[in-house]
Amino acid sequence: MSNPIDEYLEAYQLRKMDRRLSAEKLAKSIGGDKATEPIMASLDKIFESDTVLHRSVTHAVVSESLRRDRREREKGVG
């Protein structure tokens, strides 16, 4: 299973080369299945630091990372 923080960083690196792939990786990093139109339309603003949108997305990435970690730990216990 991939790490949401790594997916976010890949999305950031791809943002100027391949917007569609960048949006797909960003969507996965926050727990989505695929890029939506709002993500595609807001991609530049999402990666613009010191904005409410950027902070919200990075918070969602961290939350998704913690959720996946918790799920993996629960699989190991059961």
pLDDT at residue 75, rounded to an integer: 87
Burial 21-55 (b: 16+ CB within 10 A, else e): ebbbbbbbbbeeeebeeebeebbeebbeeeeeeee
pLDDT at residue 17, rounded to an integer: 97
* pTM given for the model: 0.89
Residues 49 and 32: their CA atoms lie apart, in Å, by 22
Q: List the chain domain ranges.
A: 4-70
The residue ranges of the chain whose pLDDT is under 50 are none
